[in-house]
Structure 1
Amino acid sequence: MYINTELKPQGNNLRLETIAQKVQSEAKNCQGNSLALLALLRLLESLHREIRDSLFLESLPSDRQALYTLLKNIEEEGGWPYIHRLKLQSLLENLAENTFTELEIEKNTQSLIECESSKPLSLKQGEIL
């Protein structure tokens, strides 16, 4: 499904664009700090849920024409707003893959060290390795 994440700077959307820029700026300030980024994501999810469950539900159209307009907008602009949660399982799989890769690198490095340390320290004259 295509989701249009680009906000068009028109009237009301100019304020939304400003909010988006502030959120992106804060995210960049937190770059490399997974706990701060997690807190930001939790805040955004909480705001999303709060707006959806109160103000948005209360503002849903009560007549057919307004409902049609809303549905047409949803179709044209990229669907229903939804914040995807990172599944713990995929996080653990990613962690496991990285750990496995690190262990393989460590194992290979250790093997190279052992091979190099098993070479004779002195060579007899004319001997080739």
Structure 2
Amino acid sequence: MDSQTQFDSQALLIQLQSLAEEVWTLAKTVEGNSLELLAVLRLLEQLHQDIRDSLFQQSLPDNRQQLYHLLREIESKGGWPYIPRNSLKSVMENWQRESPEVGLEEE
């Protein structure tokens, strides 16, 4: 890795860390408010999709050597970025598991 690429990566890392701290601080300010936390998560998911479907797709390598380098990077640094989405069913199952008395009141 040349020094310019390393410098650019370090600058990007600092920016990403700052951004992560801002998002975390925002989430902490609405802690306990599920609707506002949901809005934060939805925005993050939308940004992920937008970046992946436009900028990232356009930046994919067009030769084998660059593709090999990208795949090695993905493999060595933790795989493909993915934001899983909970289904309503799994949320309800977790909620009922944690609050078994809720179902008993309705009977």
TM-score (norm 1): 0.69
The residue type equivalent to 1:46 in the other structure is Q
Q: Distance in 1 between matches of 2:73 and 2:98?
A: 42
CA contact (8 A) 2:45 2:83 kept: yes
1:126 paired residue number: none
> How does 1:62-101 map onto structure 2 within 5 Å?
62-101=62-101
Runs of 4+ in structure 1 off by over 3 angstroms are 101-104
1:58 aligns with 2:58: yes
Identify unmatched segments of 5+ residues in structure 2: 1-8
The residue type equivalent to 2:10 in the other structure is Q
2:39 paired residue number: 39
Q: Distance in 2 between matches of 1:93 and 1:103?
A: 12
Deviation at 1:100, TM superposition (A): 1.9
Q: Distance in 2 between matches of 1:64 and 1:103?
A: 57
Deviation at 1:94, TM superposition (A): 1.8
Q: Distance in 2 between matches of 1:75 and 1:99?
A: 40
Q: Distance in 1 between matches of 2:76 and 2:10?
A: 16
Deviation at 1:90, TM superposition (A): 1.0
The residue type equivalent to 2:21 in the other structure is Q
Identify unmatched segments of 5+ residues in structure 1: 1-8, 107-129
Which of the two has higher C-alpha Rg?
1
Deviation at 1:101, TM superposition (A): 3.5
Deviation at 1:95, TM superposition (A): 2.4
More helix by share: 2
Taking CA–CA contacts closer than 8 Å with sequence separation of 6 or more, which of the two structures ends up with the larger relative contact order? 1
Deviation at 1:79, TM superposition (A): 0.5
Q: Kindly tell me the number of residue pairs found equivalent between the two proteins.
A: 97
Percent identity, aligned pairs only?
51
